[in-house]
């Protein structure tokens, strides 16, 4: 579903991702862990096309994301191509990023109506199902400022799912929340992870959550994968010294 082929990302002369290659299978739930600054968020931002690669190619669902074909040659992708592939990828951010001037229902139906061309009735029906799933059926006319951080994040998750993404990117989605609101959001994500075949890439500092939902954990260090494996192995028997140090610091 996702393939990074020798991806390099530089900001100026700072190499953030250093010749990075990996694949993620369809439906797989993969958690990215590692010290701050090791490149995890940059990977999500590249997949969301919020950044472009310096070198290498990113593939999603068999199609180049970062590039497009001209004849049989790959050239950097143009905006129209990016808009098209972006539709299959959803991202939930640390800071929720809800549209502040729209109520909950409008936040969720906006893109399905205007980007996917769904009818209003269809979009509203789907939004209501999703609101029930995230436990917010009674808040559809509320505006973001009237909701707690945890509720806003659950709306953001529903908004992401409303686009029926095949890939869902979660970037530190509980980091901005008060501690008592974290569990509600993680429990919604646990349900999604266990009940859908959406491919999930998760950047988190919640190690217990990472352990519960992941099929595979990738430990990053300085723009490279230090080690990757099933959660039991990474958390109980890490092979790499950097992983041991990192886990000691965060657990």
> Which part of the chain contacts ligand ADP (CB under 6 A), choosing from 32-40, 140-148, 189-197, 242-250?
32-40
User: Between 13 and 79, whose beta carbon lies closer to ligand ADP?
Assistant: 13
Side-chain half-sphere exposure of 37, counting CA atoms within 13 A = 3
| Shortest distance in whole angstroms from residue 80 CB to ligand ADP | 24
- Do residues 182 and 189 make contact, with C-beta atoms less than 8 angstroms apart? no
> Which part of the chain contacts ligand ADP (CB under 6 A), choosing from 34-42, 112-120, 135-143, 151-159?
34-42
Q: What are phi and psi of 226, to 5 degrees?
A: -70, -45
Nearest Cα residue to 110 out of 96, 92, 124, 125: 124
Q: Is 99 in the site for ligand ADP (CB under 6 A)?
A: no
User: Between 38 and 66, whose beta carbon lies closer to ligand ADP?
Assistant: 38
**∠ CA 155-156-159 to the nearest 5 degrees?**
85
Site string for ligand ADP, 35-54 (x = CB under 6 A): -xxxxxxx------------
| Shortest distance in whole angstroms from residue 205 CB to ligand ADP | 10
- Total number of residues that touch ligand ADP (CB under 6 A): 10
DSSP structure class, residue 139:
G
Q: Is 205 in the site for ligand ADP (CB under 6 A)?
A: no
How long is the chain?
A: 251
User: Between 41 and 152, whose beta carbon lies closer to ligand ADP?
Assistant: 41
Determine which residue in the list 6, 11, 84, 99 makes contact with ligand ADP, applying CB under 6 A: 11
Distance (Å, whole) CA 34 – CA 44: 14
Q: Is 16 in the site for ligand ADP (CB under 6 A)?
A: yes
Q: Output the six-digit token pair for 69.
A: 């074909």
| Shortest distance in whole angstroms from residue 146 CB to ligand ADP | 31
How far does the chain reach from its first CA to its final CA, in angstroms?
Answer: 31
User: Between 66 and 68, whose beta carbon lies closer to ligand ADP?
Assistant: 66
For the chain, list the strands marked E by DSSP: 2-11, 14-24, 29-33, 55-60, 63-64, 67-70, 73-76, 89-92, 167-171, 199-203, 216-221, 224-229
User: Between 40 and 139, whose beta carbon lies closer to ligand ADP?
Assistant: 40
Q: Which residue ranges make up the site for ligand ADP (CB under 6 A)? A: 11, 16, 34, 36-42
């Amino acid at each position: 579903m996702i393939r990074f082929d020798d991806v390099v990302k530089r900001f100026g002369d700072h190499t953030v991702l250093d010749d990075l290659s990996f694949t993620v299978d369809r439906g797989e739930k993969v958690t990215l862990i590692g010290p701050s600054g090791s490149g995890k968020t940059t990977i999500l931002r590249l997949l969301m096309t919020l950044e472009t690669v310096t070198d290498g190619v990113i593939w999603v669902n068999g199609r180049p994301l970062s590039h497009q074909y001209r004849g049989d040659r790959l050239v950097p992708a143009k905006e129209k191509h990016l808009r098209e592939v972006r539709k299959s990828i959803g991202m939930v951010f640390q800071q929720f990023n809800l549209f502040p001037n729209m109520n909950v229902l409008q936040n969720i139906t906006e893109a399905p109506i205007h980007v996917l061309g769904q009818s209003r009735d269809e979009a509203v029906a789907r939004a209501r199902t999703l609101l029930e799933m995230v436990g917010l059926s009674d808040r559809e006319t509320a505006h973001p400022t009237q909701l707690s951080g945890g509720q806003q994040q659950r709306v953001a998750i529903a908004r992401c799912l409303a686009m029926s993404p095949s890939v869902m990117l979660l970037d530190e989605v509980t980091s901005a929340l008060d501690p008592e609101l974290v569990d509600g959001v993680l429990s919604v994500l646990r349900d999604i992870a266990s009940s859908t075949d959406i491919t999930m890439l998760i950047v988190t500092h919640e190690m217990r959550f990472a352990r519960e939902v992941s099929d595979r954990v990738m430990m990053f260090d300085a723009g490279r994968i230090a080690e990757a494996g099933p959660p039991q192995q990474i958390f109980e028997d890490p092979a790499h010294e950097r992983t041991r140090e990192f886990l000691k610091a965060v657990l």
